[in-house]
Structure 1
Amino acid sequence: MEGKTKEMNAKGKFDKFEKNKGRSELKNNDFTKIKNKDRKEARNEIQEREDIVIGRNAVIETLKGERTIETLYISNSKLEGSIKTIVSLAKEKRILIKEVDKRKLDSMCEGEAHQGVIAKITPYRYSEVSDILAFAKEKGESPFIVILDEIEDPHNLGSIVRTAELFGVHGIIIPKRRSASVSTTVYKSSVGAIEHVKIAKVTNINTVIEELKEKGIWVYGADIRADEYSYQVDFSGPCAVIIGNEGRGISKLTVQKCDKLIKIPMVGKINSLNASVAGGIIMYEVLKGRLK
């Protein structure tokens, strides 16, 4: 009887141990989830910041531009490759350079790929729509403007900025609400092209479209429901191209404001393109039409 009692007590202790162990594992899992969530939120905050530039190419273009760089943080490991160029440019502009270890850089950007360099800058200064038009006039060219209707992914915005710079766009217009803004991610995705493209942030895109039309600028909307293909259009005159949201496309009211809707020819089974890819194709068509 005594042996049986000991056996029951031992079993009870074992069951209690397993139960507590399960609770402990549950707590650990919950802690891990919370920790991962916090880390993800922190990384999102870093990506949305407008006061730092991450990555070698982006920092080089920022150094070449007119942006005020407050401090340049570089890895204290062996200086090689484009890091030497960055240090040289920073010294020419008498920018404060701080050599820090990799852990410091990692903590500054929450694990984003910094390539050994981070620049702390003054926040991005947006242009006015009038600045974009003045820039086109200064170059003696018909205005070529890209309007982004609620592009929410900063990677898409960065890619569009990069393409716009290459294809001769005079400026980009974005709304103040429900749109990606110029941030760390945009700097990096544009590979520094953000320093060479004017971006205007406006309260009401539709009001701006009306103002552009009054100035003789033809407004085209990229929409799959269009009857005319992009390669069939003469883009040689003043024009503005509207690229819609990644999921919803161009809003109904904005579609109604367009002078003409255009679409990209597609023969595959999928009937949609990434916003930045679609924007790139349309911008190429505009440039091609102007080079004839």
Structure 2
Amino acid sequence: MESINCLKKIINFEEHPVITSRNNEKLKYLRKLGNKPFRDSENVFSIEGTKLFSEAFHSQMIFRQIFITEKWFDSQNESIQDSIALLNAIGISIVVVMDEIFNSISTMQQSEGIICIANKIEFEPSDFMKYVLLDDVQDPFNVGTIIRTADAAGIDCVITSRKTADIYNEKVLRGSMGSVFHIPVLQVDSLTEYAKALKNKKVKIIGTSLEGEDLWQRQPIEPPFGIVMGNESQGMSHEMAQLCDILLKIPILGNAESLNVSTAAGIILYDILRENVLN
């Protein structure tokens, strides 16, 4: 029970009683953050799970409020407990919720016992050398996985269209495994206009197409470049395809008609970056 006693030391239970009702106003607010327009109006989003909390904490996210269960806190290592204690010490509200009530605010099949509210991420505008552009990629897990792959591959920035899944969607956050906190991800009103601006800065725009050059037979590609990944069913828009300086296709050796967009992104990213690293 030592860690629970530690929890009681960092939280004044008289001022912050344990939430025991699903209808608590703080929980109602948290549930509303599952709605994109509400997230946008409040300029905050929710983060669920220990790993995402840890990634956000070490990325110096600005937290607003943290919901935990005593069971979760009791099960954490000293580093995580110290993180919670530090946030509480600087005035971040720590809200304790009963285990059985916590499931009513969780988006996971089996809640871990921590959900945070944080300010949306702000990045300073900058010119980069390696971009990924997402042209209406709508599946949240695809978007999250592409962001994670781009982060792993050393991409500098991800640009998304308005119709691409919101990066603050819980499935995108979970799919990225915290990479949204490591790499700038910007949503723009017009991806084609953004691509035009990149071309004016001598950034090569690279797309995928069945009529494109075979990935294995292509010419070397050096930065700066932007790799476009299109919609799961329709691919890139016609306007975006017209802007591309290079079109590539991934060889299909079996009977599958196509590849999942996040798988295709990983193949193309690492194929292009491999020669840059080796050279």
TM beyond 0.5? yes
Q: Which residue of 2 aligns with 1:100?
A: 97
Give runs of aligned pairs for residues 59-74 of structure 1, distance below 5 A.
59-74=53-68
- Return the alpha-carbon distance in structure 2 between the equivalents of residues 120 and 282 of structure 1: 35
CA contact (8 A) 2:33 2:45 kept: no
Deviations 1:135-188 (A, max 9, x none): x4xxxxxx0000000011111111111111111111011112x22112222211
Cα 1:230–1:253, aligned 2, differ >3 Å: closer, same or farther?
A: farther
- Return the alpha-carbon distance in structure 1 between the equivalents of residues 77 and 140 of structure 2: 26
Shift of residue 230, structure 1, vs aligned partner: 5.5
Aligned-partner residue type, residue 99 of structure 1:
V
CA contact (8 A) 1:56 1:83 kept: no
- Return the alpha-carbon distance in structure 1 between the equivalents of residues 105 and 50 of structure 2: 15
TM-score (ref. length: structure 1):
0.74
User: Which secondary structure does the structure 1 equivalent of 2:276 belong to?
Assistant: helix
- Give the root-mean-square deviation of aligned CA atoms: 2.5
Matched, 1:86 2:96: no
Q: In the alignment, which of 93, 104, 113 is matched to residue 116 of structure 1? A: 113
Aligned residues: 239
Deviations 1:53-81 (A, max 9, x none): 01111111011113211122222216455
Q: Which residue of 2 aligns with 1:239?
A: 225
More helix as a share of residues: 1
Q: In the alignment, which of 246, 262, 276 is matched to residue 276 of structure 1? A: 262
Q: In the alignment, which of 146, 157, 171 is matched to residue 160 of structure 1? A: 146
CA contact (8 A) 1:171 1:198 kept: yes
Structure with higher Rg: it is: 1
Matched, 1:46 2:30: no
Gaps of 5+ in 1: 1-42, 137-142
CA contact (8 A) 1:124 1:182 kept: no
Matched, 1:182 2:167: yes
Q: In the alignment, which of 206, 229, 239 is matched to residue 253 of structure 1? A: 239
Deviations 1:198-222 (A, max 9, x none): 0121111111111111111111002
Aligned-partner residue type, residue 76 of structure 1:
E
Shift of residue 112, structure 1, vs aligned partner: 4.5
CA contact (8 A) 2:145 2:176 kept: yes
Cα 1:277–1:97, aligned 2, differ >3 Å: closer, same or farther?
A: same
Matched, 1:149 2:135: yes
- Return the alpha-carbon distance in structure 2 between the equivalents of residues 109 and 233 of structure 1: 48
Cα 1:86–1:230, aligned 2, differ >3 Å: closer, same or farther?
A: farther
User: Which secondary structure does the structure 2 equivalent of 1:279 belong to?
Assistant: helix
Between the aligned residues of both structures, percent identity stands at 25
- Return the alpha-carbon distance in structure 2 between the equivalents of residues 80 and 230 of structure 1: 52
CA contact (8 A) 1:145 1:240 kept: yes
